[in-house]
Amino acid sequence: MVATGTNEPTAPARIVILVDNGVNGDSRVQKTARSAADAGWDVILLGRSPHGRPESWQLGEATVQLVRMPSPLRQRRHEYRRRWIFGPLGYPPTGIAAHRAQAVRAWQADLTIKRALLATAEPSAGKAVRRRLLQVQSLAAKVVKKWVSFRYWQHTKGLGYRNRLRSPWDRAYTWFWRRAMGDRSWRRLEPQLWDYELAYGPVVDQLKPDIIYANDFRMLGVGARAKIRARSKGRSIKLIWDVHEYLPGVKPRSDNARWMTANMAHEHEFSPYADAVITVSTQLAELLKRDHKLPELPSVVLNTPNAADVEWDADAPDIRSACGLGPDTPLFVYSGAAAAHRGMGVMVEAMPHLPEAHVAFVINDPQLPYIKSLIERATKLGTADRLHILPYVAHSQVVGFLSSATAGVIPIHHWLNHEIQLITKFFEYSHARLPILVSDVETMAATVRANDQGEVFRVDDVEGYVRAARTVLADPERYRKAYESIDLAAWTWEVQAEVQAALYRRLLPERAPARG
């Protein structure tokens, strides 16, 4: 509590943290919320429900609320119209295509039963007529199926072509609105951003925050508009923008040519409303200062583990036990989100060349199609019995869980955001004192080489990965000993959270709690 001049306590200042996910699995926002709440701030972490229904729970002294977010603006108007140019005979986008295809399959299934019944029926004068009628019906069903399949193909072809929004018309449309509206053009090019506003905005207004902590580009707009509305009513809100990724360097999250243009315009429109900016690396801070003409260099907060979480219990469950492996079996682990651009395939392709080694993926969703494709590939290679797919553990357990592996792998591809920062799993592997196998992305490769804490291989180079893995297997203790000369204490969340705490105090000096 904060005391006033009359010695009457006032309610602690409120920080509302905004994030575009379901909170679980996002260690950075969870640690941000807990550390601020532990310091005495009133913290509410507002996320998006993955189940379509509101939820709420406690995260230490912070409160988590998940809002329901319908997204009708995700579909564009052209998706409700027929594709007369690219699929003139296709079905309209009403769902009738799937209905017609299923109806034909049901018709053919019924005819199969009729033929089976006729085959076992007693001979009669009408049996030949019934057989002839069934033949005519079967032929008709085949013709109708071909027609339905053709129209379904036309429907899918037209839908796929327009969804990518790369036609000359689409490029002209994007060019026109970008020049006509400038940074406001996202309203035409990516209207789904309004779905976030309409779901989060009213809740933020009700919570009456003193500080809004907006994570990444979508939440920046939500926070900035809440600040504008509050100012019109005589209330002051400070806005912190935490940039996890450099937007021009991300892999677009929608397969259309408007996505990047629209989201960059949205980010540029609302970045001037941020009172402070936080990001994950010095290189990214410099890019943000340049692109958004920020008055000062953003603060850097690394996504490192809590100090308490790096002292693991030797008797607690660990990855080796979860895989059913003994202490002498080589085990290479990848921990993090699963996607093709994260390069996990090289670990599977290398398995036949490392016959003694097992591979474990600790991932966000074991049922992802990409993971199923890796399992299928391992099956073809005859190595599926050595591939282990495991779900996430709580972020507070990650370091201890991983510590019994032989080495941690970071095989990510050359995207700009991968080049300019040390990512979460790098710090988790380091605190687990694992030798690190990393692809030749700039910052992490340089750090691994400088610290002698692992080996580097070229992206997607199976032979190079195998050489690096065998080098580590030949003397894993050499790499573990390297951690004795690394200041791991600097790579803890408690050190990083002090940067955030200093910003809160700077923005609201008169409302800062005694602990904060």
To which H or E segment does residue 15 belong? strand 14-18
Phi, psi of 323 (to 5 degrees): -90, -5
What does the CA dihedral 432, 437, 440, 442 come to, rounded to 10 degrees?
10
Nearest to 43 by CA among 32, 52, 56: 32
Q: Diameter of the chain by CA atoms?
A: 107
Distance CA 42, CA 292 (A): 30
CB of 230 closer than 8 Å to CB of 210: no
Distance CA 322, CA 375 (A): 18
Helices (H), 80-215: 96-119, 127-163, 168-181, 186-189, 193-207
CB of 403 closer than 8 Å to CB of 312: yes
Nearest to 53 by CA among 31, 69, 30: 69
Distances from the Cα of 386 to the Cα of 325, 327, 446, angstroms = 10, 15, 31
Neighbours of 328 (CB within 10 A): 7
To which H or E segment does residue 217 belong? helix 216-232
Distance CA 460, CA 391 (A): 24
Distance CA 222, CA 194 (A): 9
Nearest to 197 by CA among 58, 310, 69: 69
The length of the chain in residues reads 516
Each residue's pLDDT expressed in tens, for the chain with a length of 516 residues:
454 454 555 778 999 999 999 999 899 999 999 999 999 999 999 999 998 899 999 999 999 999 999 988 776 666 656 666 667 888 877 778 888 888 888 888 888 888 888 888 888 878 888 888 989 999 999 999 999 888 888 877 766 665 567 678 788 989 999 999 999 999 999 999 999 999 999 999 999 999 999 999 999 999 999 999 999 999 999 999 999 999 998 887 777 789 999 999 999 999 999 999 999 999 999 999 999 999 999 999 999 999 887 766 666 779 999 999 999 999 999 999 999 999 999 999 999 999 999 999 999 889 999 999 999 999 999 999 999 999 998 888 899 999 999 999 999 999 999 999 999 999 999 999 999 999 999 999 999 999 999 999 999 999 999 999 999 999 999 999 999 999 999 999 999 999 999 999 999 999 889 765
